[in-house]
Structure 1
């Protein structure tokens, strides 16, 4: 290999090997492991195996066909592990202990059958994306379907991206990054016929290191892979202290209607209570099980419900602004998320 090829090999292989290392780290060494971390480890492992195959196949023509077979088959598990990781991270322990097997076990059985009856060594045309590459099209289609399912799970998060009042948590940003990253890798491999086969491996290295950089920049006292309430696990607020602050908080919100300010910040409310922003954030997360945005929007929704009952001459948009929402779309999406119906339907129900 010349120097440029060696450089290309180094950067594409580096992501794959580090992906394998991180997979082992999340599966065996990280503290407070749970199912979401195991699914993330599985996702990193199968993507790394797929990428490793691509790297060696590009630079070494005499690579074992059995290794190629394993690398290609790993594609069938990328989508399921992505979906399971996001599902578990968003709704932990809501799907039964063995509910994940329906997404993994059939795929492993299918991989084994296909590898036995249609091995890559004898049926290369089936595994290559050509007119007769039926198995290749099957893998990419199945992978893409699971990507769509994963994006369906994070749809509420994606809807909050343009909002100025609803801030994403670190975990929400991380899940979105993982889903988008897997889609980029899928797209790179899917279009490799028109670019280069190594683009898929390079895209994985890029996504992996960009995600690591993001984690370093956004790192806090909690891991991005666990529940938000673990953030303050080492410094619990006593129940007596929490009840006292909660009462003061409710009085201030009722008397001063701070939620009507669309630009209100956590620090603004903390200053009113004469506590630190960190303390108030901990109180909301640990004792009320809400983020600051969720807490403020809860007051806004209640205020808008009263306005919908008593103001026949107000437009829905005006009611939203009066309650403190910064936009019509934010009002509609938040109101429906909290009440289960749109403002218009609610107004008809209470009229």
Structure 2
């Protein structure tokens, strides 16, 4: 092995090794167990596995085929874990369907590896599975970019005014995209580019992440995009946003949708969901459910006083509640009385 190759091997292998160490840190040793950290740890572990196999295969073509299979299989998890890292950073929660989604990919990796082992089906892996892995990886990068499009736009247009957490998640996204591009260019055999380029790109991004962590004495503000719980909008901004919410809720009667979500409402007024949640909690002093239920109850009161032919249960369904018990509980919470008592009082001469 020439000196140049020895240097490439050293930096590639060192990046993979440090990637494993950093993944263990995020998975097990961070002071606060943010969901985004756990997914980031898993993402770094999958990437480090992919990089380690790349480095050793590049310098040893006789490596056992099982290692090639492990490296390629790890690539199938990078995209989903990137999405979950960014999504959990925005919301600090992940819907059950997405956790199941990740489990399906893990199960697919295990089943494909067992039924079609690389050692017995090298052509299938090299000609088809690899192409699919790159397509899947790109698809998740695209979905992830769309999910944080407002954040990316802010970074590109006004980097100096971005929050540390926004720069942190932006670095993760652009870093994974750079590793993908490096690998893909090597895959399509662009001149002077090989798979080892992806390994070196990963090493560069990894050390950039380590430098960010070492530079900051406090890191809690990195791991959640909505970490500033006590931040309030000023009176003018709060009034504008409040009027916009009032208008869209009343004109479109969004509250009548029993499946209305925070994300749906935030898209209607064109702001990130975490900013809307922050506004509701800090400026209005209520959570999303209470905010929506106020509109539902106000509409229910109007219906009850103007129409005594509808059952109370049907009124609840009409205004957006998905069960009788939920409607009755919310009605009493917001009015201090039950729907029946309210109806009796409203119909008294």
Q: Which structure 2 residues correspond to residues 305-344 of structure 1 after superposition, within 5 A?
A: 336-337=270-271
TM-score normalised by the chain length of structure 2: 0.64
Tell me how far 1:166 sits from its aligned partner. 8.7
| Uncovered stretches (5+) of structure 1, i.e. residues with no partner | 230-284, 306-332, 341-351
Q: Do 1:82 and 1:146's aligned partners in 2 also have CA atoms closer than 8 Å?
A: yes
Aligned partner of residue 33 in structure 1, secondary structure? coil
Tell me how far 1:168 sits from its aligned partner. 1.7
Quickly say closer, same or farther: Cα 1:295–1:77, change in 2 above 3 A: farther
Tell me how far 1:99 sits from its aligned partner. 3.6
Aligned partner of residue 213 in structure 1, secondary structure? helix
Aligned partner of residue 237 in structure 2, secondary structure? helix
Q: What is aligned with 1:108? A: 106
Q: What is aligned with 1:177? A: 171
- Matches of 2:59 and 2:28 in 1, distance apart? 32
**Which of 1 and 2 has greater Rg?**
2
- Matches of 1:4 and 1:295 in 2, distance apart? 58
Q: Which deviations, in whole Å up to 9, do the C-alpha atoms of 1:283-324 show, x marking residues without a partner?
A: xx453x34xxx548826957999xxxxxxxxxxxxxxxxxxx
Q: Which deviations, in whole Å up to 9, do the C-alpha atoms of 1:89-121 show, x marking residues without a partner?
A: 1011252xx443322111122212221232211
Q: What is aligned with 2:137? A: 143
- Matches of 1:191 and 1:286 in 2, distance apart? 43
Q: Which structure 2 residues correspond to residues 256-335 of structure 1 after superposition, within 5 A?
A: 285-287=228-230, 289-290=231-232, 295=234, 298=237, 301=240
Tell me how far 1:221 sits from its aligned partner. 5.6
Quickly say closer, same or farther: Cα 1:122–1:91, change in 2 above 3 A: same
Q: Which structure 2 residues correspond to residues 61-210 of structure 1 after superposition, within 5 A?
A: 61-93=61-93, 95=95, 98-128=96-126, 133-164=127-158, 167-192=161-186, 193-194=189-190, 195-210=193-208
Quickly say closer, same or farther: Cα 1:155–1:9, change in 2 above 3 A: same
Q: Which structure 2 residues correspond to residues 173-252 of structure 1 after superposition, within 5 A?
A: 173-192=167-186, 193-194=189-190, 195-217=193-215, 220=218, 222=220, 224-226=222-224, 229=227
Q: Which deviations, in whole Å up to 9, do the C-alpha atoms of 1:48-68 show, x marking residues without a partner?
A: 000000000011222121111
Aligned partner of residue 62 in structure 2, secondary structure? coil
Quickly say closer, same or farther: Cα 1:120–1:167, change in 2 above 3 A: same
Q: Which structure 2 residues correspond to residues 4-83 of structure 1 after superposition, within 5 A?
A: 4-83=4-83
Q: How many residues align?
A: 248
Quickly say closer, same or farther: Cα 1:166–1:54, change in 2 above 3 A: closer
Quickly say closer, same or farther: Cα 1:2–1:166, change in 2 above 3 A: closer
Tell me how far 1:126 sits from its aligned partner. 2.3
Quickly say closer, same or farther: Cα 1:84–1:336, change in 2 above 3 A: closer
Tell me how far 1:40 sits from its aligned partner. 0.6
Quickly say closer, same or farther: Cα 1:164–1:201, change in 2 above 3 A: closer
TM-score normalised by the chain length of structure 1: 0.63
Aligned partner of residue 75 in structure 1, secondary structure? helix
Tell me how far 1:206 sits from its aligned partner. 0.9
Quickly say closer, same or farther: Cα 1:167–1:54, change in 2 above 3 A: same
Q: Do 1:68 and 1:120's aligned partners in 2 also have CA atoms closer than 8 Å?
A: yes
| Uncovered stretches (5+) of structure 2, i.e. residues with no partner | 245-266, 277-349
- Matches of 2:36 and 2:22 in 1, distance apart? 14
Q: Do 2:19 and 2:206's aligned partners in 1 also have CA atoms closer than 8 Å?
A: yes
Quickly say closer, same or farther: Cα 1:113–1:216, change in 2 above 3 A: same
